[in-house]
Amino acid sequence: MEFLKNIARGKRVLHLGCTNFPYTLDSISSGSLLHADLSEIAAELTGFDFDQEGIDLLEKQGFSELYRADLERLEEVQLKREFDVIIAGEMIEHLNNQGLFLNGIQRYMAEETKLVITTVNAYCAFRFAIYALRGRGGEIEPVHPDHIAYYSYRTLKKLVENNGLEVEEFFFYDLGVEHRGTLKWYYRTINDVAVTLFPQLSDGIVAVCRKRTSKT
């Protein structure tokens, strides 16, 4: 969260999946809604989300520049402008066609625009531990019910490059406070030991992407 806020500070920002619906009101009341944090530090902030109910809730809270958008059909959005930073947090793993998204988002990218993609790490240590202990032949998997893909450094980099972009920076991120509060102590211990020794076993990954530059 701090990384996202720092990269967005003072910039023209497009935030994808901005409502965090159906947890919009809970996020607002707990002070954990990223869009609210971004609104305080970004020079300009625009939000895209497919859930109209979530957009309505944010508008009632005083937020503006919100657009209903299907991330796989961005050509249908009635907005034509470019941004300094585009935040795609924890959403690419929900999409049926990631290529349509990565191609469509480029209409909002200038040469220097940073597209920040965060997603679950395919090699997350504590999820391996949960799956090993509770998997039952694959029936019980520690995955969000709406996720349809996992990504690693190589697979995300390849996906991005296949669609006209390039990875400028790549990071791993550890368990956030919201996950620490729900994990049993022994899973937290497994995570902390594993990540201390091997950061590539962290909870998630961050790829900062740009339009591919031509090489001579």
- Give the pLDDT confidence score for residue 21 in this predicted structure: 85
Considering Cα of 118, then 124, then 126, then 130, what sign does the dihedral take? Answer: positive
**Domain 2-121+147-176+202-211 homologous superfamily, CATH:** Vaccinia Virus protein VP39 (3.40.50.150)
pLDDT digits (tens, 9 = 90+) for 99-110: 999 999 999 999
pLDDT digits (tens, 9 = 90+) for 112-125: 999 999 999 999 99
**CA nearest neighbour of 11 among 39, 52, 49, 35:** 39
| Domain boundaries defined on the chain | 2-121+147-176+202-211
Question: Does position 5 have pLDDT exceeding 80, yes or no?
Answer: yes
At what angle are helices 185-197 and 125-134 packed, to 10 degrees? 140
Burial class (CB in 10 A: 0-12, 13-18, 19+), 27: middle
Average pLDDT rounded to a whole number, residues 38-48: 97
Split at pLDDT 50, 70, 90, the class of 145 is: confident
